[in-house]
Amino acid sequence: MLFNSLDYFAFLGLTLAGFWAIRFLGPERDDGPRTRGAWLRLLFVFLASCAFYMAWNWRYIGLILFSTLLDYCAGLGIHAAKSSRAKKAWLGLSLAGNLGLLGVFKYFNFFSEATGDVLSLFGVAIHAPVLDVLLPVGISFYTFQTLSYTIDVYRGRLEPVRNPIEFAFYVTFFAQLVAGPIVRASELLPQLRRPPWLDRERVGHGLFLIAIGLIKKVILADFVSVNLVDRVFADPSAFSGTETIIGLYAFTLQIYADFSGYTDVARGSSLLFGIELPENFDRPYQATSVAEFWRRWHMTLSTWLRDYLYFPLGGSKSGELRTYFNLYLTLFLIGLWHGASWTFVIYGNLQAAAVMWNRYLVRERAARRGPTRPSSVYLLASAWNRLNDLLRGGLDRDPLWLTAVKVLLTMQFVVFSRILFRATGLDNAELVASRVVSGTWSVAQVSTELWGVLLAGFVLHYLPRSWLESLRSRFVQLPPWAQGIALALVGVVLAIFVTAEAVPYIYFQF
Amino acid sequence: MSERDDELLGEEGSNTILDQLDSLDERVGSPSMTRAGLAHLGVVVLVLAGLAALPYASTDLRRWQPWVEGEGVPIVRMFQGDGTTEAGMALATGGAVTRGSDEAVVATLGEAVAANLAADDEAAPAPDVEPVAPDEAPPAVRIDPSELEGLVRELEDPGGRAMRPFYEALLRTGQREAGAITRVAHYGDSSIAGDGITVTMRRLLQRRFGDAGHGFVLIARGTMPYHHQDIRHSAEGPWDLDQLVRAGRRDHVYGYGGVLYRAGGGTTARFGTDDRGPVGGSVSRFELWYRQQPRGGRVDLRVDDGEREVVSTRGETTEDAWHTVSVPDGPHRIELRTIGGGESQLYGMVLEREGPGVVYDSLGMVGARARRMLGLDPEHFRAQHGHRQTNLIVLAFGGNDADDVGRTPEQFEDDFRQIIRLARRARPEAGCLLMAPLDQARRDDRGNIVTMDQVPVIVAAERRAAAAEGCAFFDTYEAMGGDGAMRRWFRSNPRLAFGDFRHATPAGYRVVGNMLYRAILKGFSDYLTQS
């Protein structure tokens, strides 16, 4: 069930009605966390969430329920265990169970085939086994979400959840089940234990987010996808170099609008239940470095890996080489999280290399105050930093124009490295890259409407945040009838732009 | 942003938005506040529902009705799918999701179409076919029934003679007669210009009967997305194009491929074999096709890194001409440069081998309607095909004609009859095959993807025209699944049609190519049985 469909809004309306009816009309109306009313409310949304997931493929609901049960028991087991060894055993069980599922359904075939490929280089021919399974929608999201719970319980940062329905709600909440944000238990559970509440501001904010999310999805993401991106990547040789480059920029816009649009609808829908979800994007294309980009893009994934992988490995506190390794591994895994293929392996490596370079630049600047260790990389970093200082013209921080240049350069890295993200394989990526440098200039296949949408999309991304905030405030302050009319107008615009039947969200497949 | 912040992935707990969330979490609203909020939401929903109900007041506003009868009950219909809503996302998965389950694919596309999805052994190279010695008995040619598995639709040839010249040539090729090359000229619109259907045909026929070279290629890329696969081809410089689809030439001379390239000097074009594909890896003869004329310029040709050879396109008379460069059979490339001395007028380059084998010329013209072909000078067209020694002319038009809502069935039929006659006159010795367009769809006022009204009209007109003119007919539209096929192809996983609902994806064109190949092979099998 896609957010950009009538079905979703019918479903959302019914679920909201049931949820709030139980809150005010059900048993023990003044409900606290352990009353029958709260239990019933959570159970109702949990069942609705299961139905929501089963609308895609009922066969895979068992996987989520298995993850839920496993981590519920693991949380209690860790808490009850007397010895450190027993705690570790429970944690190991949770890790093995969750990552095992992810491994089987997402990574097994790739690693099996990759092993076969590598062995064949040494003249060893094996018939790599391949599993005939579909990738369950959202598996990478809910797996990471439940893992954060067990790890936090293990670290003693979180009390285990006693109420199985409360935990099941946390894992399966439909608004963010299939494409995030990846919500920590420490962020969601406290909200479930308080009576849910709404006010005009929350309602207005929620509706505004839903409208913005749909505009991003339908007008920006789907339109450029259907009218250019899909075709460029399906048959690169049919497009000129210029058209291919425009296709890459279009994909950059598409993936942001698609994913952040999903997040907006998820957050807006949750707000109507009185639940706040974390933001997942912070205008990523305004980043001045690749490291900053990853702090602004899919923030709940990068902070997840930071907190549950990078810091436990020692972060930046375990020596220079180790820090670079930690950075490398984290960024590499961010790449591989998206998909099991060589394209994502290379994509992860590229991102890791860029972030390591960012760190090296910072260290070089700091090293000027202490002993230096000249090397070719050091000299390059030094030259880069000195050029930067020169361009700053003696200022402590970058002037606006230099910031703009850095944003532009970072953007180019993001755009062109995403050839690997979007390509269907290495051959496809090579073909797209070869078209980029083909030196052919036609733009005949880029329609006027597409130019307009691309321009509008990027201009909106670079507008000051305060403008959007101001628009949101104005919407929130409108009387309800005016909000209804405004939303209806948005609906009309969406109906004009809608490409065809609802186009699935890109991140559903991860 | 401080340097410290910029250094790493951020400090633990440094996410200001999450910090803000923590502070928001602490707020608790009272029940009365919540009731007010719900009342607010209720009014918004009522206003929205009221406005959404307005279009139901008039059938003219049907386009704006959120739901109409027959679209399935919202929510309930979501449980009636085939579990492949992920369809279409496969392109972005980088391999994570490549296609839906076989059952789901069959459910969406139908068994017959699904059977043609397989790119069976696509990477396998065409075997080398040596001609039989003059004193040797030719091998028997037969089509194994397993080769026809997946046959969706046969060719329609009521007279049984339209394809006979082609089958006769194919039989000689199959018997490995020395130099027996079977040549196919496949004309069409953008569905052909991308070499999707034709590359499938070329690969399958060459793997089955032998690779006699890539065939005819335009000098430079015409209107995008014209391009050929299994060949290296590039062009630079300010080529002027006279295109049949845009007409404009008073002499109606556009060459075998429908485009005439003009240049004084400083332009280049490169053609070469490509060892990355299953066919097209060798060539033994390059042939430049050009227009000789009194003010013709000079062209410089260089094979591989060898000596340059200058070809003058100047002559006392204005007529079509050819220049052949022979090379040892194998991988080669040729570079063509216009070097002034007048205006060179070029049609294209042929890459061929000695045979026996098949050559499949892909001759798509972006934006072409059937009647555009009538802008060709018949005599010139005849000379071109006479030189090419074509054994089969395939005419695949109708997709763009579907936009011509004002044209009657009779006018369409007349268009197709005329282009069949043009082809017949150009090469009476060749077979003739009219190929119906792919299903062409549009969004209706409800946003549903529906077949354009003119498509079945055009297909019927083509069938009548083919029967009347003694040309064979392949009903691509029905082979795809008939009415609504484009919608199903768009929704299938893997996706077989693009979101413009006019073109297939490469996978979709491969399906069409597979279907056409099997139809032709079935016809050939019947011919062998009868003869």
Q: Which CATH number fits domain B97-117+150-212+356-531: 3.30.300.10, 3.40.1010.20, 3.40.50.1110, 1.20.58.100?
A: 3.40.50.1110
Where in A367-411 does DSSP place strands (E)? none
Nearest to A324 by CA among A336, A315, A333: A315
CB nearest to B224's CB, from A194, A365, A442: A442
Report pLDDT for A390. Answer: 79
CB nearest to B91's CB, from A234, A291, A483: A234
Which of A4, A7, A308, A494 is the best residue to mutate to test the B interface, defined by the most B CB atoms within 10 Å of its own CB? A7
Judged by a CB distance cut-off of 8 A, whether residue A316 touches chain B is: yes
Which of A3, A111, A193, A203 is the best residue to mutate to test the B interface, defined by the most B CB atoms within 10 Å of its own CB? A203
Q: Work out the average pLDDT over B212-227.
A: 83
- Within 8 A of B92 by CB-CB distance, chain A residues are 422, 506, 509
Report pLDDT for B74. Answer: 82
d(CA A170, CA B508): 42
Q: Which residue of B has its CA nearest to A315?
A: B8
Q: Work out the average pLDDT over B319-340.
A: 95
Complex ipTM over 0.85: yes
CB nearest to A445's CB, from B41, B86, B224: B224
- Find the helix packing angle between A480-497 and A200-214, rounded to 10°: 10
- Within 8 A of A402 by CB-CB distance, chain B residues are none
Answer yes or no: do A444 and B223 touch at CB < 8 A: yes
Answer yes or no: do A488 and B51 touch at CB < 8 A: yes
Give B520's pLDDT tier (boundaries 50, 70, 90). very high
Answer yes or no: do A424 and B95 touch at CB < 8 A: yes
First to last CA, chain A: 16
d(CA A165, CA B143): 64
Beta bridge partners of B269: B235, B336
Report pLDDT for A503. Answer: 63
Report pLDDT for A186. Answer: 87
| pLDDT above 70 for B512 | yes
Report pLDDT for A374. Answer: 62
Q: Which residue of B has its CA nearest to A199?
A: B37
Q: Which residue of A has its CA nearest to B10?
A: A295
Average pLDDT taken over every residue of chain A: 87
DSSP notation for A472-495: HHHHHHS-HHHHHHHHHHHHHHHH
CB nearest to A202's CB, from B25, B37, B79: B37
- Decide if B164 contacts B527 (C-beta within 8 A): yes
pLDDT digits (tens, 9 = 90+) for B240-285: 989 898 887 889 999 999 999 999 988 999 999 998 888 889 999 9
Average pLDDT taken over every residue of chain B: 85
CA A247, distance to chain mean position in Å, is 22
Q: Work out the average pLDDT over A330-344.
A: 88
Judged by a CB distance cut-off of 8 A, whether residue A489 touches chain B is: no
Give the 3-state secondary structure of residue B335.
strand
DSSP notation for A5-23: SHHHHHHHHHHHHHHHHHH
Report pLDDT for B223. Answer: 63
- Within 8 A of B35 by CB-CB distance, chain A residues are 24
Report pLDDT for B500. Answer: 82
Would you call the peptide bond into A399 cis, given omega within 30 degrees of 0 as the criterion?
Answer: no
- Decide if A49 contacts A41 (C-beta within 8 A): no
Q: B213-354 — its CATH code?
A: 2.60.120.1360
- Within 8 A of B52 by CB-CB distance, chain A residues are 488, 491
Q: Work out the average pLDDT over B81-103.
A: 43
pLDDT digits (tens, 9 = 90+) for A6-49: 888 999 999 999 999 998 887 665 555 567 778 899 999 999 99
CB nearest to A203's CB, from B18, B40, B74: B40
Q: Work out the average pLDDT over B399-418.
A: 92
pLDDT digits (tens, 9 = 90+) for A200-231: 999 999 999 999 999 998 889 888 888 889 88
Q: Which residue of B has its CA nearest to A292?
A: B6
- Within 8 A of A190 by CB-CB distance, chain B residues are 25
Give A506's pLDDT tier (boundaries 50, 70, 90). low
Nearest to B157 by CA among B423, B415, B466, B514: B466
Judged by a CB distance cut-off of 8 A, whether residue A18 touches chain B is: no
- Find the helix packing angle between A426-436 and A241-272, rounded to 10°: 120
Q: Which residue of B has its CA nearest to A207?
A: B41
First to last CA, chain B: 83
List residues of A with catalytic annotation: 338
Cβ neighbours of residue B4 closer than 8 Å, sequence gap 6 or more = none
